[in-house]
Amino acid sequence: MNDDVEQRVARLKVIERIAEKNNFRADVMAALEVVERHQFIAEYQQAKAYRDKPLPIDAGQTISQITTVAAQTNLLNLQKGQKVLEIGTGSGYQTAILLEMGFQVYSMERIEKLHLLAKENLNKTGYDKAVLIYGDGFEGLPQYAPYDGILIACAAPGIPDKLLEQLAIGGRMVVPVGVYEQKMTVIERISADDYHSSFEGYYHFVPMLKGKESDIQY
């Protein structure tokens, strides 16, 4: 078998195991089958692409565990065509999943090196419809708000107020909250001033930090 076939077999096997253990939406699982995770990690990590574990990417960051990507996407509970703000583009894998599901995607990354890497990865895999922004995720993108869903792929120390304001009424924010261990929290905006939150398990994420970071020399 060539590498692509081997990777596909490995991908389908891990997705089958995830489906056996979790009651995720069919469209989430279908997106996981299509999007090639190995395209979003470094060459030296290829043999580990379909292990259900986080893996290192550039700038000291990680690509999330496959089950975690599925869980956060599932918790958004959105329909095709709805608008999503992603905080923490990373290498672009979660972004590709959201695009594969037919969402309008706006994604922010505070580390310039990763912002550029994600853009390259998404272009080469044909997932080039997202609006990718190099910026501070705590600020969000008010110019494109409101969002039907906000997915935060890093550990927030608390609920970011400015992002709450950018959530549509009826919209959902999925955010891991905490410092050492995070509580996956889903916040639904009920009205202009009312929100409902629920707890969806414990996770480990890299921290959500303020500001922008660049070590690129121009």
The residues near 32 (Cβ < 8 Å, ≥ 6 apart) are: 11, 15, 18, 66, 69, 70, 97
Q: Which of 64, 91, 198, 214 does the annotation list as catalytic? A: 64
The first and second tokens of residue 75, run together, are 């918790």
The first and second tokens of residue 152, run together, are 């935060």
Catalytic, 64? Answer: yes
- Beta-carbon-side half-sphere exposure of residue 216 (alpha carbons within 13 Å): 14
Cα gap 71→142, rounded to integer Å: 26
Residue 170 near residue 188 (C-beta atoms within 8 A): yes
The residue to which tokens 């089950």 are assigned: 67
Which of the residues are catalytic?
Answer: 64
